């Protein structure tokens, strides 16, 4: 029986599906091949790219038949697109028997606004924006500003062929057109260093344009730009108040174009969102709602002229990763009343996001919602871990009957919701939880016969989803929520197994480079905010480890090329201050093996191990992008670092300085000892695990390598024993 042709699936451009805004001149095309039969493979492909979906004429590019089994990241080789231009692409492949597949159903990508001068919109903001003086919370927290409602009206007098909205903010925004929210993403434009570059989004709004009168607008909140970020109640990280910029490109049937953009003629006001802050929560007064504000042409009496914000030139870049969305709904599994009038709802799962609340009561009724991950023994919520983050939403009823409150510009990390001030007794279905995060798609599933292991895996997945929100954060609940480099480099490998995180980390690595110091030191957090320190071992090394991991997992060499200059600056920086190849100097706020349990691994050893590991990764990455001379240079450095490490920290009997699990994991995983010594290090590692009652004692640094090392040396039995350990410290202890 003859083999069947291959089927093409999962087409992508720059890791995205039919993206509306790509500012990469030569984006990369990818797909996978599928077959109902085994032992099938692609031996050749042909790509066609055209301006017209229906045309067979590849007027932009025809690759011709290429003899290759490559299906991943094939660079577009055709005519460069102009701003806002759409390209349609398709591909056909051949299997090993020479049978051709069907052509893939045409896919597309659109170019963004590729030249700065094409941005004609102005940064606009609401003048004299200040905290509400009649809200108690704003007396102490003067960064709690009302959300701005901004809008303009325009007329359309002829048929529209296409309409594209380009939008961004210094802050976070929600775009509106003719009474409808545009798109389904939240917290746009995402977190970057607003002083270095700002992302923008593109929306196809063709179907929302009306003949005659139209209203374009946006709601604008502080977000990361001027809201509270990190600890110590720090607000206004990048500026005093938020600003919005939009431009709507209308292309008419007759070929003419028109641009509607933010300018001095827009109007603004405040409304029911008296403040909304990631850490402090949202205060919503339904009595101040603005019915029809984004649809009606009248009722502008309360609106006032906007001001043009003096921002100056800032690079605007297309959003290159999956948007943040409300991804999953949770209904409470229980409701308790630990104190009279205090109701606790249990969602059954710790999530990052918010809740919608339904209520009916007199005008002015104030309902307060607080959020927590665990309960106190008496059944009340435990919030001490939140530190200075208030994590409180407030809903003032308008008294119009059944009302629903859904926050727009805040999120919380929680399982339990405390509600006070509710009129009457809330039913169980009065609360609905929404999980929020970057919409990275799952790539694997896992289940086994052990339910605790299944639960551990679920917790890991939800932990990833709850912390991947524009940037990879450390936590979604307390007054921190920063993009810690140490957390990211430890978890990036696992993250790539759970979900497709290539676009997510590609975006964030730009943030990492933006945060690099002029001297070449990588920061501790990216975007660099609150924590201004840098060069901590195992944290700063993320600048190399993440690109290396993305290359390993996705075959992406462009991420190496893009960040190679920054990686080289880092290596030069380290060598300048540590010419003897041991990382003794410039270790910044050295965290060591953070959160280790009764095992204090020598910090100099950790730094020196990562210094050598960096050189080893540079060897591999240099060869991946054809830099053989650089590879040989770093190979020489690694050999010298390896010798220095052994002389400084390893005894001839295999004992390492400090005799900790993490020390042995680093020596083995980073290949820092001679082959004849490896069995002795393994013996010492396992002896320490046994001496601790088959418990781990690793912290941030060692935990990511422990099971890898054990399995690589043929001791997966010990790895499984650690996995099933239910005592403290152990992976299953926290879920019992």
Predicted local distance difference test score (pLDDT) of residue 694: 96
Asked if 256 and 270 count as a contact pair (C-beta separation under 8 A), the reply is no
Across 111-125, 475-489, 534-548, least confident range: 111-125
Average pLDDT of the residues in 421-435: 97
Q: Which residues pair with 661 in a beta bridge?
A: none
Q: Dump pLDDT digits (tens) for 659-708.
A: 999 999 999 999 999 999 999 999 999 999 999 999 999 999 999 999 99
> Quick check: 613 pLDDT over 60?
yes
Report H helices in 166-249: 223-226
Predicted local distance difference test score (pLDDT) of residue 299: 63
> Quick check: 303 pLDDT over 70?
yes
Q: Which residues pair with 368 in a beta bridge?
A: 394, 420
Predicted local distance difference test score (pLDDT) of residue 301: 73
> Quick check: 369 pLDDT over 90?
yes
Burial 189-200 (b: 16+ CB within 10 A, else e): bbbbbbebebbb
Asked if 252 and 157 count as a contact pair (C-beta separation under 8 A), the reply is no
Asked if 244 and 311 count as a contact pair (C-beta separation under 8 A), the reply is no
**Dihedral, 666, 670, 675, 677 alpha carbons, nearest 10:** -20
> Quick check: 273 pLDDT over 80?
yes
Residue 84 vs residue 297, higher pLDDT: 84
Predicted local distance difference test score (pLDDT) of residue 116: 75
Number of neighbours of residue 300 by Cβ within 10 angstroms:
13
- Beginning with the edge strand found earlier in the chain, give each strand of the sheet holding 304-305 in spatial order: 180-181, 172-177, 212-221, 148-156, 267-270, 304-305
Average pLDDT of the residues in 176-182: 97
Q: Dump pLDDT digits (tens) for 531-572.
A: 889 999 999 999 999 999 999 999 999 999 999 999 999 999
Asked if 537 and 603 count as a contact pair (C-beta separation under 8 A), the reply is yes
State the residue for tokens 């959003």: 319
- Closest by CA position to 467, among listed 510, 427, 437, 503: 437
Q: Which two tokens stand for residue 148?
A: 């701005």
Q: Which two tokens stand for residue 473?
A: 């954060």
Q: With residue 719 as reference, give the H or E element that holds it.
A: helix 716-723
Cis status, amide bond into 527, omega within 30 of 0: yes
Number of neighbours of residue 560 by Cβ within 10 angstroms:
22
Q: Dump pLDDT digits (tens) for 133-164.
A: 889 888 889 899 999 999 999 999 999 999 99
Q: Which residues pair with 75 in a beta bridge?
A: 28
Residue 58 neighbours by CB under 8 Å, 6+ apart: 48, 49, 50, 78
Cα gap 409→187, rounded to integer Å: 7
Average pLDDT value over all residues in the chain:
95
Asked if 45 and 90 count as a contact pair (C-beta separation under 8 A), the reply is no
Q: Dump pLDDT digits (tens) for 2-58.
A: 678 999 999 999 999 999 999 999 999 999 999 999 999 999 999 999 999 987 789
3-state DSSP assignment of residue 412 = strand
State the residue for tokens 């500012």: 23
DSSP assignment of 326-385 equals: EEEEE--SEEEEEETTEEEEEEEEEEEEEEEEEE---TT-EEEEEEESEE-TTSSEE-GG
Average pLDDT of the residues in 507-511: 98
Q: With residue 76 as reference, give the H or E element that holds it.
A: none
Cα gap 659→612, rounded to integer Å: 20
Opening angle at CA 145, ends 144 and 151, nearest 5: 155
Predicted local distance difference test score (pLDDT) of residue 298: 57
Average pLDDT of the residues in 507-526: 97
Predicted local distance difference test score (pLDDT) of residue 300: 64
* Residue 150, φ and ψ in degrees, nearest 5: -125, 140
Asked if 347 and 341 count as a contact pair (C-beta separation under 8 A), the reply is no
Is residue 574 very low, low, confident or very high in pLDDT (cuts 50, 70, 90)?
very high
Q: Dump pLDDT digits (tens) for 191-224.
A: 999 999 999 999 999 999 999 999 999 999 999 9
> Quick check: 398 pLDDT over 80?
yes
Report H helices in 482-602: 485-498, 502-514, 542-554, 558-577
Q: With residue 715 as reference, give the H or E element that holds it.
A: none
* Residue 464, φ and ψ in degrees, nearest 5: -65, -50
Q: Which two tokens stand for residue 142?
A: 């003067």
Q: Which two tokens stand for residue 86?
A: 């759409």
């Amino acid at each position: 029986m003859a083999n069947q042709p291959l089927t093409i699936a999962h087409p992508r451009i720059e890791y995205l599906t039919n993206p509306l805004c790509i500012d990469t001149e030569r984006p990369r095309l990818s797909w996978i091949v599928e077959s109902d039969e085994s032992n099938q493979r692609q031996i050749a492909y042909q790509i066609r790219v055209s301006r017209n979906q229906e045309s067979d004429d590849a007027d932009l590019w025809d690759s011709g038949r290429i003899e290759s089994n490559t299906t991943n990241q094939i660079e577009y080789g055709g005519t460069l697109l102009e701003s806002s231009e759409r390209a349609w692409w398709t591909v056909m492949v051949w299997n090993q028997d020479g049978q051709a597949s069907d052509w893939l159903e045409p896919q597309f990508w659109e170019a963004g606004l590729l030249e700065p001068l094409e941005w004609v919109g102005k940064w606009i903001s609401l003048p004299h924006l200040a905290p509400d003086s009649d809200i108690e919370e704003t007396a102490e927290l003067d960064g709690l500003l009302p959300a701005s409602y901004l809008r303009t009206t325009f007329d359309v007098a002829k048929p529209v062929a296409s309409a594209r909205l380009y939008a961004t903010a210094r802050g976070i925004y929600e775009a509106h057109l003719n009474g409808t929210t545009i798109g389904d993403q939240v917290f746009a434009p995402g977190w970057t260093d607003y002083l270095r570059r700002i992302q923008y989004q593109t929306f196809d709004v063709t179907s929302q344009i009306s003949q005659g009168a139209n209203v374009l607008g946006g709601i604008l909140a502080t977000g990361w730009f001027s809201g509270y970020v990190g600890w110590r109640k720090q607000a206004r990280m990048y500026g005093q108040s938020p600003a919005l910029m939009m431009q709507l490109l209308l292309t008419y049937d007759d070929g003419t174009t028109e641009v509607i953009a933010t300018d001095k003629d827009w109007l603004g006001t405040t409304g029911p969102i008296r403040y909304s802050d990631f850490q402090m929560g949202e205060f919503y007064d339904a009595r101040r709602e603005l019915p029809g504000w984004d649809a009606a042409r009248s009722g502008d009496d309360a609106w006032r002229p906007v001001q043009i914000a003096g921002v100056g030139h800032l690079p605007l870049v297309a959003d290159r990763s999956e948007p943040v969305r409300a991804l999953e709904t949770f209904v409470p599994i229980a409701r308790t009343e630990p104190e009279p009038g205090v109701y606790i709802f249990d969602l059954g799962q710790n999530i990052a996001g918010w809740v919608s609340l339904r209520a009916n009561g007199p005008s002015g009724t104030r309902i307060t919602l607080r959020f927590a991950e665990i309960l106190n023994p008496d059944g009340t919520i435990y919030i001490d871990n939140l530190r200075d983050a208030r994590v409180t939403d407030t809903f003032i009823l308008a008294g119009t009957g059944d009302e629903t409150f859904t926050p727009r510009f805040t999120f919380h990390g929680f399982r339990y919701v405390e509600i006070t001030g509710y009129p009457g007794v809330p039913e169980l279905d009065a609360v609905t939880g929404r999980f929020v995060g970057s919409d990275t798609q799952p790539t694997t599933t896992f289940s086994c016969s052990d339910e605790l292991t299944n639960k551990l895996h679920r917790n890991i997945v939800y932990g990833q989803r709850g912390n991947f929100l524009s940037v990879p954060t450390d936590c979604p609940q307390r007054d921190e929520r920063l993009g810690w480099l140490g957390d990211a480099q430890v978890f990036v490998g696992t993250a790539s197994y759970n979900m497709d995180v290539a676009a997510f980390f590609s975006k964030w690595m730009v943030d990492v480079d933006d945060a690099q110091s002029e001297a070449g030191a990588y920061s501790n957090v990216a975007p660099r905010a609150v924590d201004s320190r840098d060069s901590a071992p195992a944290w700063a090394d993320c600048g190399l480890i993440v690109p290396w991991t993305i290359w390993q997992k996705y075959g992406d060499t462009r991420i190496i090329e893009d960040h190679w200059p920054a990686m080289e600056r880092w290596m030069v920086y380290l060598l300048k201050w540590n010419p003897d190849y041991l990382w003794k100097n410039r270790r910044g706020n050295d965290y060591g093996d953070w959160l280790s349990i009764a095992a204090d691994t020598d910090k100099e050893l950790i730094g020196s191990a990562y210094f050598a590991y960096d050189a080893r990764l540079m060897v591999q990455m240099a060869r991946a992008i054809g830099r053989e001379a650089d590879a040989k240079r770093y190979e020489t450095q690694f050999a010298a670092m390896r010798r220095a490490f052994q002389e400084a920290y390893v005894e001839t009997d295999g004992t390492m300085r400090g005799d900790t699990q993490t020390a042995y994991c680093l020596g083995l995983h980073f290949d820092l000892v001679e082959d004849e010594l490896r069995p002795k290090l393994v013996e010492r590692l396992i002896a320490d695990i046994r001496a601790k009652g088959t418990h781990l004692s690793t912290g941030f640094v060692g935990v990511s390598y422990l099971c890898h090392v054990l399995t690589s040396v043929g001791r997966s039995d010990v790895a499984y024993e650690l996995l099933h350990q239910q005592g403290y410290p152990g992976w299953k202890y926290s879920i019992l």
